[in-house]
A and B are shown apart, each in its own frame.
Chain A
Amino acid sequence: MLGPNGAGKSTLLDVVLGLLPLSAGTATVLGGRPGAGRAGIGYLPQRRNFDPGTRIRGREVVRLGLDGNRWGVPLPAALSPSARAARSRVEEMIELVGAEPYASRPIGELSGGEQQRLLIAQALVRKPRLLLLDEPLDSLDLSNQGAVAALVQRICKREGITVLMVAHDVNPILTYLDRVVYFAAGAAVEGTPREVVDGPTLSRLYGAPIEVLEASDGRLVVVGTPEPPAHHHDRHGAAG
């Protein structure tokens, strides 16, 4: 899901999660009303990094995604088979995202890319059918952006998960997308990246001249979007 800030991308995710009622129209998520199939959805909200003083292991953060909403306290793995199963599921996810080297360190001390890998593991730990990622590359440097985008694509192909990713910057993820929904000016267009990320289509949507250039490696570069890039965090104060 692409589009400028304030177009309603994160709001749509809230609707899919069942956190926000629709004022008009209907929504169906995994064959039911939004919120009913919550267990089938993994969610990674737009990330501010963890406070450096958060002294909880990455492993525990992944585990909270599995059973953090259950009352009580977890039993030690030595006493209960279900706790052993939970632990092995957590280890499997940590391995899947390649976070073994740092999963036992306090999450606040990890880099943005390391935190993001653990949070993807957390979103995947309940074996969701649908994975919602809100600006997962936002706080990462360029090399980590590519690596995390590739990781997400590899996992969704291997585990058969539908990934719905919100992004305001097209370039780092363009090569990994199957379909694109582009929101702007109260409307949206949907299609393959080539159909949607296209000069005339985006110009119609924005009501302003937009050019899409193709680089020599086949990647598309959108030029001229009327988007002030410095303000993309403001929206969350209002939406959250």
Chain B
Amino acid sequence: MSSLVAALSLNPVSDLEQMTAYPFMVNALWAGTIVAVMAGAIGWFMVLRRQTFAGHTLAVTAFPGAAAATLAGLPLAVGYFGACGLGALLLAAVGRDRGSSTANESAAIGTLQAFGLGLGYLFVVLYGGQLSSLEALLFGSFLGITEGQVQTLLWIAVAALAVLVAIGRPLLFASVDGAVARAAKVPIRALSFGFLVLLALAVAATAEITGALLVFALLVTPAATAQRLTARPGLGIALSVALALLVTWVGLTIAFFSPYPVGFWVTTLSFGLYVAVRLIEAIVSRAALAAPGAPEPEPT
């Protein structure tokens, strides 16, 4: 996707200078940083609440939103955030707190997802087959992110994270132990809806960088990896954010110096991290089994 392939000099200082000489790359690094922090923190709660399917559906609804915005000549961000916001409302309407079972919920979410993809395809066809950015809508691009977009992302991320901090503790309670939280007068339904809106914001913001289909590289994988590594909530969220930042920065850097797209590098890096953690876990638990009487490793 990136037509200019820069030469890697293996000198970190000059490589960094080479990257930041391009304004589009500076914007991409800023946007990636903002999105990684937001996706890492909100994704941690999404994985804990087992709402990855809902998150994926929001990501898929981002695609018809973006396609419709392109068709109507509106900024892409309007499409992403509009469609994800609408998706959050629909998900809340079919959600588990409306008394439907988990199985009904995932069936309803799946239906919504298929419809969203179909709509997106319709908009692409209506555009006349000339939608050159289709690939970018689905798989992301770091080219052409403007300073204005970075600023919008920053304000959205600050607002979303401020809300997340304000509702953090009761949200954790409601996510881990809903029945007891309800008895302790925690507003479960309002929190559930509020979280879906935060998730929609995170998905829409992430989709601008990674594309609709690769949102999960930043939203799920760092969070899932962090949850394998620690069962402490505070540390887990910090780790999830750190991993999302790591894969974003490294992914953008490799994409800049290679002919392959950023979405591929970010997903590959986060997948690699996840696999490495699972492998180490398996080896550690084998070692613990092999040494009878050894104290069980205490996850901290």
Contact = CB atoms under 8 A, between A and B. Distances in A.
Interface of A: 17, 19, 38, 43-45, 50-51, 53-57, 60-61, 64-65, 67-74, 76, 104-107, 119, 122-123, 240
A61 B296 CA distance: 21
A122 B180 contact: yes
28 contacts: A19-B182, A19-B183, A38-B185, A43-B180, A44-B180, A51-B50, A55-B48, A56-B48, A56-B233, A57-B231, A60-B231, A60-B232, A64-B173, A64-B180, A64-B181, A67-B169, A69-B173, A69-B185, A69-B186, A72-B166, A72-B168, A73-B168, A73-B234, A104-B231, A104-B300, A105-B231, A105-B299, A122-B180
B185 A104 contact: no
A100 B98 CA distance: 38
Contacts of A57: 231-232, 299
A105 B233 contact: no
Given A51-B50, A57-B232, A64-B177, A72 B183 contact: no
Contact of A55 (B169, B182, B183, B231): B231
Given A17-B183, A64-B177, A55 B300 contact: no
Nearest to A237: B101
B287 interface: no
Q: Give the one of B169, B182, B185 with max A CB within 10 A.
A: B169
Nearest to B184: A69
Given A69-B170, A71-B167, A56 B180 contact: no
A240 B99 CA distance: 9
Contact of B165 (A55, A72, A105, A123): A72
A123 B50 CA distance: 25
Contacts of B234: 73, 76
A71 B166 contact: yes
A38 B184 contact: yes
A106 B299 contact: yes
Contacts of B186: 68-69
Contacts of B117: none
Interface in B155-210: 165-170, 172-173, 176-177, 179-186
Given A51-B50, A55-B231, A67-B169, A45 B179 contact: yes
Nearest to A39: B184
Contacts of B176: 50, 54, 56, 60-61, 64, 107
A122 to B, nearest CB: 7
B57 interface: no
What interface size band does chain B fall in? 20 to 34
A130 to B, nearest CB: 13
Nearest to A58: B231
A122 B180 CA distance: 10
Nearest to A106: B231
A148 B36 CA distance: 45
B299 A70 contact: no
Interface string B256-300: 000000000000000000000000000000000000000010111
B227 A55 contact: yes
A119 B232 CA distance: 18
A186 B179 CA distance: 26
A74 B298 contact: no
A219 B172 CA distance: 43
A106 B186 CA distance: 23
A54 B49 CA distance: 9
A43 B177 contact: no
Given A45-B179, A64-B177, 13 more contacts: A51-B50, A57-B231, A64-B169, A68-B169, A69-B170, A69-B181, A69-B186, A71-B167, A72-B168, A105-B231, A106-B231, A106-B299, A122-B177
Contact of B170 (A71, A105, A107): A71
Contacts of A38: 184-185
Interface in B41-72: 48, 50
A61 B177 contact: yes
